[in-house]
Amino acid sequence: MAVSGRRSSARHAAGVALATVALLASAPPARAEPPQVDHQPAPCSVLSRPLALCATITDDGQVARARIYFRPAGDKFYSFVDMEFGGISFCGTLPAPREGKLKAIEYYVQAIDQQFESQRTSTYQIAVQPEGVCEFPPVEKDPPRAQSILVHLTNRKQGKKLPDGFMAAGVTLVSE
């Protein structure tokens, strides 16, 4: 009788183990968290100089894409530039504001991970001011980056030109 009791206990233990495995297998997968975007907005910038904006972006997996969406304040459509990882943070370069055409730039930073979870910052405004008025303008200091800005247009109604208010020097446009 002792042997029969052991078999029964062994069967019961095996059944519990199989039920636990089945329960774990049928549980929904852990939900991926969206990327976390930490960005300190720039309060102002200067005329005729491309802007360099950076953000610290982290994810529980891999950041697939980071972009800065921007437009002249009040415009209908955004354009965007891709951000590149530079070892500590992701940075992107916006075209230089054109003198007499732009008082402020609206922008936000968006990141997407490999599970297509996305996160964006609030929309910020950068006041465009004359040289010397803005104390710490976020100007692009790397000449090759300032001369190779790839701007993506997001709507066909934008045509095939950079939004008014931005200088075309060093800019290549991509229509979506």
Q: Which CATH number does 36-175 carry? A: 2.60.40.10
Q: What is the mean pLDDT of residues 101-126?
A: 94
Residue 7, classed as helix, strand or coil, is helix
Q: What is the pLDDT of residues 59-112, one digit of tens each?
A: 888 899 999 999 999 999 999 999 999 888 999 999 999 988 799 999 999 999
Cα Rg, the chain, nearest whole Å: 26
- Which among 145, 143, 63 is positioned nearest to 109, based on CA atoms? 63
Please count the other Cβ atoms lying within 10 Å of the Cβ belonging to residue 97. Answer: 25
25 contacts: CB under 8 Å, gap ≥ 6: none
Q: What is the mean pLDDT of residues 164-171?
A: 93
Which of the four pLDDT bands, split at 50, 70 and 90, describes residue 3? Answer: low
Q: What is the pLDDT of residues 23-41, one digit of tens each?
A: 444 444 456 789 999 999 9
Residue 159, classed as helix, strand or coil, is coil
φ/ψ of 151, rounded to 5, equals: -105, 130
Domain boundaries along the sequence of the chain? 1-30, 36-175
Predicted TM-score (pTM) of the model is 0.81
Which of the four pLDDT bands, split at 50, 70 and 90, describes residue 9? Answer: low
